Amino acid sequence: MNPKITRRRLAAAALGSAASLGAVRAQAPSAPNSPQNLHTTATEENRKNSEALSKVELPMSVEPAFQFKA
């Protein structure tokens, strides 16, 4: 038998496998130490730092400690 594959069927099959692949990816939790998760954690830490800094009252006249001399 030589079933005729129409373009419509082919597209449906491709969409189906992409969708099921997506579903599998969504189901599998990424490892806590995956590069993506570690990057998210690091970014989150930077965001928390930013938040902590924004709570400090900073007069407009204060210049950065660029010309740093102890």
Partner 1 sequence: MADFTDDIFFASIAELNAKIKAKDLSAVDLVRVFSQRLERIGPRYNALALPLTEAAIRRAHAVDQELKRERYRGPLQGIPFGAKDLLNYAGQPTTWGARPYAAQVFDYTATALSKLDKVGSVLIGKLAMVELAGGGGYSSAAASMFGPGLNPWDSGRWSGGSSSGSAAAVAAGLVPFAIGSETSGSILTPAAFCGVTGLRPTYGLVSRHGAMALSWTMDKLGPICRTAEDCGLVLEVIAGADSKDPGSAHKSFYFTPQYYRQPKDLRIGYAPVDFAERPQASARPAFEQALAIIREIGAQLIETRLPDFPYGALTGTIISTEGSAVFEPLITSGKVDELADAKQIAGLKAGLEIPAKDYLKAMRIRRLAQEKIRSLFIDVDVLAAPCRLGPAPKVTEPLDRGRSPEQASPKDQGLSALIPAGNLAGIPALSLPCGFADGLPVAIQIVGPAFSENVLLALGKEFQKRTDWHQKRPPVRNA
Which residues of this chain interact with partner 1, rule CB under 8 A?
Answer: 33, 35, 38-39, 41-43, 45-46, 48-50, 52-56, 58, 62-66, 68-70
Quick check: 15 and 9 in contact, CB under 8 A? no
CB closer to partner 1, 28 vs 65: 65
DSSP 8-class letter at 59: -
CB closer to partner 1, 9 vs 48: 48
Q: Which amino acid is at 40?
A: T
Q: Minimum CB separation from partner 1 for residue 56, in Å?
A: 5
